[in-house]
Amino acid sequence: MAIKLSNRIQLIKPSPTLAMSNKAKEMKDSGLDVVNFGVGEPDFNTPEYIKLAAHKAIDDNFTRYTANAGIIELRKAICQKLERDNGVKYDSKQILVSPGAKASILDVLMAVCDSHDQVIIPVPYWVSYPYQVMLADALPVYLNTRQEDGFRVKAEELDQCIAENPTAKVLILNSPSNPTGTVYSRKELEEIAEVCLKHKILVVSDEIYERLVYDDSKHVSIASVSPEMQEHTVIVNGVSKAYAMTGWRLGYAAGPANIISYAGRVQEHATSCVNSITQKACVVALNNEDDSIEAMRQEFDKRRNFLYTELVKNPHLSCFKPEGAFYIFPNIGWYIKNNTLGIKNTDQFCDKLLEKHHVALVSGSAFGIEGFVRFSYANSMENLTKGAQRFAAFLQELRESC
């Protein structure tokens, strides 16, 4: 007799980004020349100074369980980083080190949400936010943004959304954003903070891409706009993106002591501590940073400018130029509406592009919005060039089919 699965798990769907990347990998393994823009992962190696610290931890036999919240040395390094880079002061008791920023978010949501609580998620969103809310037994509420506004949440629209959803308790804010590359200014964050304080909304501020900003953009943490807002914010960050340490699996949350304490209880009974060697390496990553981190950012900036320039050459395509992260999110809505090849949505567009031209993108539907596709420019210039050419050829086919 088959065991009935939980109602909760039946709401959870596979990650579209991983699904597309796995499909691309299978095609590549079969011998096809596939350009994969699907995975949000730096293509650089972890810097040498960090790897050396990990080797030292192993040589020193630092290989046992640590405190659930993270070794004190690391939590202090995170506090120093937050004061140095973000202008916010925390005590080590206000820090929870987790196996990835994703785990940090889920731990916090499970600590603060009940089944009737609503969590506001701006659209487009990172693919996991809605499912993390559902896993916490809460209800996702979607707040649409617009390309012409740079995909930014407007304070007055947030205010209206909260008024229409009386059990709203949390806002998830992601700046710099995946998938759009939007970076909020201090003024915009001050206006959002005013609304959140008015309604006593907790902000879970996902700042994992904070080091990857370009042109005149500057990352500002919403926790830094006022002492009151710091008390209504949990910062989530980690080392995966800026330090090219995705596989090391370390994120952290910083916030009010009671929330962090109870999020830690969740972690105690779920994953427990991050592996000891990663923690030691991350102390060095934060305290002894070398110029390799900035070199990676500059290379991402070069790739961003190249890919944006190539994409906007295509007729009937519009594109917000990303201000941060390493994604670009072009609007292909015209091509969905104007083709005779039977492509009616972005899922079908991405499937056909992969099948015919061997280019893997992620459909906008994965991020809650139709008519867009996501490129990750965490990729070589060779692949960016090749992929952009193939993408343009596919768009030409769609135009000619009309």
Question: Per mean pLDDT, which range of 4-13, 81-90, 208-217, 267-276 is the poorest?
Answer: 4-13
Has residue 70 got a pLDDT over 80? yes
* Percent with pLDDT over 70 in the chain: 100
d(CA 81, CA 296): 19
pLDDT band at 209 (very low <50, low <70, confident <90, very high): very high
pLDDT in tens, 325-380: 999 999 999 999 999 999 999 999 999 999 999 999 999 999 999 999 999 999 99
**Residue with structure tokens 């926790």?**
223
Q: Classify domain 48-287 by CATH number.
A: 3.40.640.10
Has residue 25 got a pLDDT over 90? no
Has residue 11 got a pLDDT over 90? no
343 or 10: whose pLDDT is higher? 343
pLDDT value for 173: 98
Has residue 10 got a pLDDT over 90? no
Which homologous superfamily is 7-45+292-400 in? Aspartate Aminotransferase, domain 1 (3.90.1150.10)
pLDDT value for 13: 86
Has residue 212 got a pLDDT over 90? yes
Parts of the chain belonging to CATH 3.40.640.10:
48-287
| Cβ–Cβ < 8 Å for 358, 27 | yes
| Cβ–Cβ < 8 Å for 113, 203 | no
Has residue 1 got a pLDDT over 70? no
Q: What is the mean pLDDT of residues 29-58?
A: 95
pLDDT band at 73 (very low <50, low <70, confident <90, very high): very high
Q: What is the mean pLDDT of residues 205-228?
A: 98
Q: What is the mean pLDDT of residues 24-45?
A: 91
pLDDT value for 40: 86
How high is the mean pLDDT of the chain? Answer: 96
pLDDT value for 2: 87
pLDDT value for 367: 97
196 or 402: whose pLDDT is higher? 196
Parts of the chain belonging to CATH 3.90.1150.10:
7-45+292-400
Is the bond leading into 124 cis (omega within 30 degrees of zero)? yes
Has residue 23 got a pLDDT over 90? no
Q: What is the mean pLDDT of residues 107-116?
A: 97
Name the pTM for this structure.
0.96
